Structures are given as C-alpha cells and as structure tokens.
Structure 1
Amino acid sequence: MNSKKQTKELWVTENIKSLYHPVLKYKTILQKYYPLEISESIEEMNGIKKMYIIDKFDLK
C-alpha cells in the first residue's frame, strides 16, 4: 500500500499554537497551523476516506 498515491486534506487554524497533535506528526505544519479536520484517502481504495475531526480542545 505504501507505493499507492495517498492524499491528505487539512482544515486548519492559526489560532491554536501547539506542536502536539494526536494524528499529525509533521512539526513543519504544526509550527504554523493546527489541523482541526484531517481527511485521508488512498487512490486504489476508491470511495474509502478516513476522517479525523477535533470537536473539543481543552488545555486544562
């Protein structure tokens, strides 16, 4: 599966500053943006999409 084209679509905010994200590990993105929604798909698996959505964020 690693040789297949993978696509990630990110919906982000610049208002949250954190280098930790439970799904995304790319520090170059996290230094500027914080993903609120991530959509992943693989070219060979037509019609299947994996979505990660943050619906609550708490820094307590």
Structure 2
Amino acid sequence: MRHSEFWDLMDRHLGRGYARVWADSHVMSVLGGRTAVEALDAGEDPKVVWRAVHATQGLPASER
C-alpha cells in the first residue's frame, strides 16, 4: 500500500478534515504508542498502519 492509498482510505472513512487530525493525535498501542503520522514518519508500512487504524476504529472487515 502506498501512502496516498492510506490517506485516501483515511479520508473516506473519517472525512477529509478529521482524518489528518485523528492520525496526528490518536496514539495506538499496537503502533508502539505512536500516532499513525508518527508511525508513517518512522517508516512503518502504510498497510500496517491502516490495519491498526482499521482495528481501532472498528471498521468492517470488508474495508481491511
């Protein structure tokens, strides 16, 4: 998954404005106590970060 695909999914599920705010402020233990933005900036695979967001938000399995 590319970073652009990750952000497209985030925008689709959380809304364009809120997705960035959420990704920059919501700390997830599955990402080592980092936010999505911190994990991506540290080089984490966007697919891994999306799976963490997906689980945290309780999105349908079809959206994984």
Structure showing greater Rg: 1
Structure with the higher fraction of residues in strand conformation: 1
Q: What TM bracket, shorter-length normalisation?
A: under 0.3
Structure possessing the higher relative contact order (Cα contacts under 8 Å, 6 or more residues apart): 1
Structure showing the higher helix proportion among its residues = 2
TM-score (norm 1): 0.25
